[in-house]
Amino acid sequence: MTTPARQIKLGAFLMQTGHHIAAWRHPDAQADAGRNFQHYVELARKAEAAKFDAVFLADGVGVRSTHLDSLARTARADHFEPLTLLSALAAVTERIGLIATASTSFNEPFNIARKFASLDQISGGRAGWNLVTSSGQAEAQNFNRDVHLAHALRYERAAEFHDVVTGLWDSWEEDAFPRDKASGQYLDAGKLHVLQHRGKHFQVRGPLNVARSPQGRPVVVQAGASEDGKELAARTAEVIFVAHQTFQEAQDFYADIKARVQRYGRHPDDVKIMPGIFPVVGRTQAEAEAKFQQLQDLVHPVVGVALLSTVIGDGDIDLSSYPVDGPLPELPETNGPKSRQRLLLDLARRDGLTIRDLYLRIAGARGHQQVVGTPESIADQLQQWFEQGGADGFNIMAPWLPGGLDDFIELVLPELRRRGLVRTVYEGTTLREHLGLAQPRHPAALRRAA
């Protein structure tokens, strides 16, 4: 039997009206997406018909912007809680993976383990958990805090949180529930494993009251690119969502993670690295640039400056008092996402960008790679990153929805398929099978087999 050729993994990163900060103003955008369930049903079905590996929902546990003038001009204030939404989408899709963000900072491990195990059962093995630590002060203030936990402490807590969740997912062996009516035996008590965790941050007895996942465990996804984030990802993540501005950055990160993974006794293929890509697609270059400029022209300066302040400082920095056409000032290190702040500071210094230049540069992709071009030129870039050690796949960030996703599906995917770079049919039914990740067996079963 021949081994199938390595192919690009694709996530559809769905953000309400689209990823561009002014997307909701696009004449073809679904402006009420934050409360429109049918909008998400149609997007998920389109992505599934196109054979994407998964849909992905980011999340924040609060309205992140406290700048009311900006908030009043964006579509970022209201959106569904992701696990609730994905549970509903599981009922109207059959194959596509369902990945949701849930914070380790403002949840308890038992609740997260139970919710994702339930989603995995409901969907038939299609669930993924995007583990984040949260960073915004506005989020902290919704959970009995004035300020957020320090960066290093967030990651220390997240590492223990992960271990508790995965331990709870191993509460039951694969065949722990015979449910034999004739004998009257519902479960085999010998295949129950009580966690009994007592650590620095958590005390959790267990067991989980949800049966073992159809895919062994839900897939664990992470998005941190700081030093702490990379180390946690190398030990625990199976998929990494990341932002890069250049191909060299992508190659360096890819090589770094694949090397770190091996230091934890893992195979490099055990982790799939999927940078975010913001594609604006036109049948000609001029058409693509016109589409992008249409969105850029809709960015109000108040919105742009507030966006930049949030992305670069996450509530700790306010750029509104600086001249918008002046340079980015020297900024202190914040307690927010350190990798994203460094990325933007380096970009501004390297390209000599003003505050206006920089907010327009991130108005769509927020630090992720932005590609504006034809199907062929976009496919060229994806192929280069994929084949030359920059990515295992991509998280597609549609500029506006639904049209931006439609453009990628209708124009770029046929070109990628012509090159044999993406699937034409699903090879399996679970998210792990889509991503080419092994199904973990229960540790007790492995010990018996040994």
Q: Whole-model pTM?
A: 0.91
Q: Which amino acid is at 247?
A: F
Of the residues 336, 362, 388, which one is the last residue of a structural domain?
A: 362
My answer on whether 274 and 304 are in the same domain is no
Over 90: is that where the pLDDT of 103 sits? yes
Instruction: Count how many domains the chain has.
Output: 2
pLDDT tens string 137-149:
778 888 888 787 8
pLDDT confidence bin for 334, thresholds 50/70/90:
low
The answer to which of 10-19, 111-120, 178-187, 302-311 has the lowest mean pLDDT is 302-311
Over 60: is that where the pLDDT of 387 sits? yes
pLDDT confidence bin for 215, thresholds 50/70/90:
very high
pLDDT tens string 22-63:
999 999 999 999 999 999 999 999 999 999 999 999 998 888
Over 90: is that where the pLDDT of 89 sits? yes
User: Is 66 inside any structural domain?
Assistant: yes
Range 84-100 average pLDDT: 98
78 or 169: which leads in pLDDT? 169
pLDDT confidence bin for 275, thresholds 50/70/90:
very high
My answer on whether 211 and 155 are in the same domain is yes
Please tell me the predicted confidence (pLDDT) of residue 2. Answer: 42
User: Is 289 inside any structural domain?
Assistant: no
User: Is 46 inside any structural domain?
Assistant: yes
My answer on whether 64 and 188 are in the same domain is yes
Q: 109: closest CA among 40, 203, 25? A: 203
d(CA 359, CA 309): 9
The answer to which of 160-169, 186-195, 305-314 has the lowest mean pLDDT is 305-314
Range 64-81 average pLDDT: 84
Over 90: is that where the pLDDT of 241 sits? yes
Please tell me the predicted confidence (pLDDT) of residue 12. Answer: 98
My answer on whether 187 and 239 are in the same domain is yes
My answer on whether 93 and 123 are in the same domain is yes
Average pLDDT, the chain: 92
My answer on whether 241 and 344 are in the same domain is no
Note the Cα 171 to chain centre separation in Å.
27
Are 208 and 166 contacting, i.e. CB atoms less than 8 angstroms apart? no
The answer to which of 121-135, 273-287, 309-323, 404-418 has the lowest mean pLDDT is 309-323
User: Is 450 inside any structural domain?
Assistant: no
My answer on whether 237 and 357 are in the same domain is no
Cα–Cα distances (Å) from 48 to 2, 92, 118, 239, 360, in that order, read 26, 11, 21, 19, 32
Over 90: is that where the pLDDT of 136 sits? no
**What phi-psi label fits residue 206: left (phi over 0), alpha (psi between -120 and 50 degrees) or beta?**
left
Cβ–Cβ contacts within 10 Å for residue 230, how many? Answer: 20
User: Is 284 inside any structural domain?
Assistant: no
Please tell me the predicted confidence (pLDDT) of residue 421. Answer: 98
> For the residues of 17-50, what is the DSSP string, one character each?
T-SSTTGGGSTTS-TTGGG-HHHHHHHHHHHHHT
Please tell me the predicted confidence (pLDDT) of residue 229. Answer: 85
Please tell me the predicted confidence (pLDDT) of residue 239. Answer: 98
Please tell me the predicted confidence (pLDDT) of residue 3. Answer: 46
User: Is 3 inside any structural domain?
Assistant: no
User: Is 2 inside any structural domain?
Assistant: no
Over 60: is that where the pLDDT of 418 sits? yes
Largest CA distance in the chain: 79
Please tell me the predicted confidence (pLDDT) of residue 343. Answer: 78
pLDDT tens string 188-207:
999 999 999 999 999 999 99
Cα–Cα distances (Å) from 419 to 55, 69, 129, in that order, read 23, 47, 31
Q: 403: closest CA among 289, 224, 282, 251? A: 282
pLDDT confidence bin for 69, thresholds 50/70/90:
confident
My answer on whether 23 and 106 are in the same domain is yes
Over 70: is that where the pLDDT of 338 sits? no
The answer to which of 204-208, 238-242, 433-437, 442-446 has the lowest mean pLDDT is 442-446
- Domain of residue 430 covers 9-279+368-445
CA angle 312, 305, 346 (to 5 degrees): 35
Percentage of residues in the chain having pLDDT higher than 70: 96
